[in-house]
Amino acid sequence: MSVRAALPAVVGAPGGRASSAPLLGGDTEPTLFELSRPGRRAWQLPTTGVPALAIEDLVPAPYRRDAPPPLAEVSERDLVAHFTRLSHRQFSVDLGAYPLGSCTMKYNPKVCDAVAALPGLAAVHPAAPARLVQGWLALLVELEETLCAVTGMAAATLQPAAGAAGELTGLLMMRAWHQAQGRQRRTVVIPDSAHGTNPASVTLGGYETVTVPTDPSGGVDLAALRRVLDEDVAGIMLTNPNTLGLFERDIEAVAGAVHDVGGLLYYDGANLNAIMGVVRPGDMGFDIVHLNLHKTFATPHGGGGPGAGPLAVTAGLAPFLPGPRPVRTAGSPGNAPGSADSPGKAGDPGSVRYGWEQPERSIGRVHSWHGNALVLARALTYTLVHGADGLRQVAQLAVLNANWLRARLAGLFDVPFDRPCMHECVVSAAGLRREHGLRASDVAKALLDEGFHAPTVAFPLIVDDALMFEPTETESVQTLEALAQACERIVAEAGTPGGPERIGHAPVRTPVRRVDEARAARHLIPVADGVSETSSPPTG
Ligand SMILES: *Cc1c(COP(=O)(O)O)cnc(C)c1O
């Protein structure tokens, strides 16, 4: 679908006709296109006296647009007011508790932002020669080493831009590793509780997914796993704790069985706040681990901003890592990034300690330059501020909070796997559905009216009407108590006359009420033919 197809029909309409929606106040904030009036613009600069050149003299005809782009024309004042109003009509980790399970939405310390904003980090060009960016290179190397220490791995790449990108990188490395051993494998095993990105990455990586069921205690069904393991299996992808928030107790047996058929173990470490500083994936027998710096290591996420999904591997897989990699060179002249084999100009050899290196059998780049660098700066800051003990405490508090909440909610909802959980807990709203016809999503909507972000609903798929809470380590016991009391009010209201009806219409206190979840995808608003030709571009 093109972007234009999604725009309202009033875009650049002749004569600047806008919709009749109120421009201010009320429940609806107009779009910029509805605020648009021909000729308005959001900047003001004095004329320079430099004569204007016609676009025809500057850009050859084949490269010119046939028509101006259909952009909104608004004044700076209206533009700022529009976005400021919108910024007040949302919910964020800085505003309140955000117990969204599986995707760790936690408060991120502002000191990390302050460091990432330092001009010495933020204003550096990624093509600067190594000898001029020794500090940046030191930061990258130190972060790699820190993540290796936390995961129990030998080497890492910081290039992947997100968890899913780390997964694909890991699978491509798995493939390259098998090929280097002269064998071709076809399948990757995934438990049925896995995060949706896992099977998607397997497909993108050119493998077929084989699913293994969860056993009654919430772990991988070991007997079922043994049945599917054969010489076709390239490896297994696991999250531990899994998406039920449960620790895989049989992990050593799983690792042994997979290694016995020559497969590799991939650890989905998106939510490392469950275990960091306490147990290392490397010690559990994993070969490849990705981490989500934008969940565990202080980069906010959820708004589509940049993330980072570094990948750490065992020594045997290190030669296949994406490159070039930042390395300690101790005294040798630095190389320009991306051209590890053609040395840049030698600086003072004694002062250069970091450079770039292409791993021997690298699968190649998976991101331009060096990944989302400022996310990496935030992550290193986070680890330095906490120290090893602090990181362990993060995990301990995350697990304590989730178990506190699990115990507190146990009387309100069904708890399908009633054993100590890790950083998140899964309850089921199936009881409310049977008695009052309400779904997990109704509880989630009602929580919005209570001032909380919704927990994850309907995931993991293997739990009937799941509600998945991840309180994270950053919330106080008072906040958790308030969340539990909000749940109590909702469940109590469900049992009152008219209660289910009211809950079914929640939320009523949010700027946007209950939305039709399918409409935006099913009913596209067409843009009238030729409309874009009539809008005039900003001049000057
Ligand atoms: C969030 C998450 C992912 C995907 O990470 P992205 O950065 O969104 O690509 C993968 N696995 C698990 C368990 C996750 O929670």
User: Which has the minimum average pLDDT: 7-11, 73-77, 510-514?
Assistant: 7-11
Least Cα distance to 118 among 377, 294, 308 occurs for 377
Write out the H or E segment, with its range, that includes residue 288.
strand 288-291
Residue 137: its pLDDT value, please?
Answer: 96
Position 388, amino acid: A
Please report which confidence band the pLDDT of residue 528 belongs to, taking 50, 70 and 90 as the band edges.
low
Higher pLDDT, 213 or 5: 213
**Atom 3, ligand 1: residue with shortest CA distance:** 163
Q: Is the pLDDT of residue 526 over 90?
A: no
Structure confidence by residue, pLDDT tens digits, 224-250: 999 999 999 999 999 988 888 888 889
Say yes or no: CB of residue 309 within 6 Å of ligand 1.
yes
Residue 29: its pLDDT value, please?
Answer: 86
Question: Mean pLDDT across the stretch 120-144?
Answer: 95
User: Which has the minimum average pLDDT: 29-33, 46-50, 301-305, 343-347?
Assistant: 343-347
Question: Mean pLDDT across the stretch 294-308?
Answer: 86
Residue 321: its pLDDT value, please?
Answer: 98
Say yes or no: CB of residue 164 within 6 Å of ligand 1.
yes
**What is the DSSP code (8-state) at residue 234?**
E
Write out the H or E segment, with its range, that includes residue 172.
helix 163-180
Other Cβ atoms less than 10 A from the Cβ of 350: the count is 8
Residue ranges of the chain assigned to CATH 3.40.640.10:
154-322
Q: What is the mean pLDDT of the chain?
A: 88
**Atom 1, ligand 1: residue with shortest CA distance:** 103
Residue 24: its pLDDT value, please?
Answer: 44
Q: What percent of the chain has pLDDT over 70?
A: 88
Q: Is the pLDDT of residue 117 over 50?
A: yes
**Atom 14, ligand 1: residue with shortest CA distance:** 270
**Atom 4, ligand 1: residue with shortest CA distance:** 163
Question: Mean pLDDT across the stretch 72-81?
Answer: 96
For the chain, helix, strand, coil in percent to 5 are 40, 10, 50
Q: How far is CA 477 from CA 14, 34, 424, 472, in A?
A: 58, 45, 15, 11
Please report which confidence band the pLDDT of residue 351 belongs to, taking 50, 70 and 90 as the band edges.
low
Question: Mean pLDDT across the stretch 322-331?
Answer: 89
Q: Which two tokens stand for residue 438?
A: 């309400």
Alpha-carbon gap, residue 321 to 70, rounded angstroms: 44
For residue 152, the CA-to-ligand 1 centroid distance in Å is: 20
Residue ranges of the chain assigned to CATH 3.90.1150.10:
388-510
Alpha-carbon gap, residue 14 to 247, rounded angstroms: 61
Q: Which residues contact 38 (CB under 8 A, 6 or more apart)?
A: 15, 16, 73, 535, 536
Residue 537: its pLDDT value, please?
Answer: 38
Q: What CATH number does the domain located at 388-510 have?
A: 3.90.1150.10
| HEC string for 213-232 | CECCCCCECHHHHHHHCCCC
Residue 1: its pLDDT value, please?
Answer: 34
Say yes or no: CB of residue 290 within 6 Å of ligand 1.
no
Please report which confidence band the pLDDT of residue 22 belongs to, taking 50, 70 and 90 as the band edges.
very low
> Which pairs count as long-range contacts for 475-480, CB under 8 Å and 24+ apart, including other chains?
475/97, 475/99, 475/401, 477/404, 479/97, 480/97, 480/401, 480/404, 480/405, 480/408
Residue 529: its pLDDT value, please?
Answer: 53
Question: Mean pLDDT across the stretch 184-196?
Answer: 93
Structure confidence by residue, pLDDT tens digits, 414-459: 999 888 999 999 999 999 999 999 999 999 999 999 999 999 998 8
* Runs of H (alpha helix) within 12-160: 32-35, 55-58, 76-88, 110-116, 119-122, 134-151
Find out whether 237 and 204 touch, Cβ atoms under 8 Å: no
Right CATH for 154-322 from 3.40.50.1380, 3.40.640.10, 3.40.50.720, 3.40.50.10680: 3.40.640.10
Q: Which two tokens stand for residue 199?
A: 């099977």
Residue 341: its pLDDT value, please?
Answer: 39
Question: Mean pLDDT across the stretch 385-402?
Answer: 97
Alpha-carbon gap, residue 314 to 321, rounded angstroms: 10
Q: Is the pLDDT of residue 540 over 60?
A: no
Choose one of 100, 106, 169, 195 to mutate for the ligand 1 pocket test, by most ligand atoms within 8 angstroms of C-beta. 195
Q: Is the pLDDT of residue 461 over 90?
A: no
Q: Is the pLDDT of residue 381 over 60?
A: yes
Find out whether 179 and 198 touch, Cβ atoms under 8 Å: no
Choose one of 103, 202, 267 to mutate for the ligand 1 pocket test, by most ligand atoms within 8 angstroms of C-beta. 103
